[in-house]
Amino acid sequence: MRKTMRAKDFIIVGRPRLAAMREHPEVVSRDYERRLRSMQSTMQLIQQAFLGTRERAVVVLEGWDTAGKGGVVRRLGWAMDPRSFRVYPISAPSPNEHGRHYLQRFWEKLPGPGQIVVFDRSWYGRVLVERVERLACKQEWQRGYEEINQFERMMVADGVRIAKCFLHITSAEQVRRFRDRINNPLKRWKLSYEDFRNRSRWSDYELAIEDMIEKTSTKKAPWFLVPTNNKLYGRLAVFTILIHRLGNGLSLEPRLLDPKVAKLAKRLLNSSDE
């Protein structure tokens, strides 16, 4: 593994070729645990810096089935205060949502001041699963690229920080993880019929992913492509990206105690010692 992991190492410039990705770094468990704890502490400081301000953030996690999105979400959840941290696992739209513009259900979940929101899958379903499974016609999903870019431009203009990560694994690694889930009773619940149906259309999804990243990786809301054949490395990479995108320009120094609070605390605590 590279000694220094940098967010810019994963940013997309130009058209990605997933099949051309040859480097899948690894990290040893001891190094991983130490670095993860440090990164979780930094994420806590970022969350605290958001509180009481108009700062807010959207994290988009996309990736192949079994690529490790859930593992990233869990380790974020272990570190973050749930009062200003939300995770939305996105599945197929409800019958009621089918009658609305596909972006409407995401507008309703955007963060308020001081909040960090994670989308485990997202509005990119329009140009991925809806494209490949023909749930949207060609005109609809082709129009989706500019609709999504405009959606994200509006968020950024309104002060929302955006971090978009695509978790990439090889086809062979996905097969290995499917087998592991089948053989492990505690992991079988993660498997679905759709997982294997999607697997049979790997090349179609690969093309859709490459188009998506090329056409929606913008200067203000770039895509980061993370190799996650090694789950430990992938988690550290995502945390590196989130710290960069969400913490850039923030002061992470602990806040001073409000003078009014300090004065009242001093009076009350001193009196309780008598």
Model confidence at 255, pLDDT cuts 50, 70, 90, reads: confident
Q: pLDDT for 92-148, tens place per residue?
A: 999 888 889 999 999 999 999 999 999 999 999 999 999 999 999 999 999 999 999
Residue for token digits 């410039």? 13
Report the alpha-carbon distance of residue 16 to residue 18 in Å, rounded. Answer: 6
The residue ranges of every structural domain in the chain are 7-272
Structure tokens at 234: 């992938």
**What is the pTM for the complete model shown?**
0.92
Can you tell me the mean pLDDT for 190-213? 86
Higher-pLDDT residue of 106 and 195 is 106
What is the rounded CA–CA span in Å between residue 241 and residue 221?
12
Structure tokens at 25: 């770094």
Query: What's at 232, amino acid-wise?
Result: L
Considering the four listed CATH numbers 3.40.50.300, 3.30.70.2660, 3.40.50.720, 3.20.20.70, the one that applies to the domain covering 7-272 is 3.40.50.300
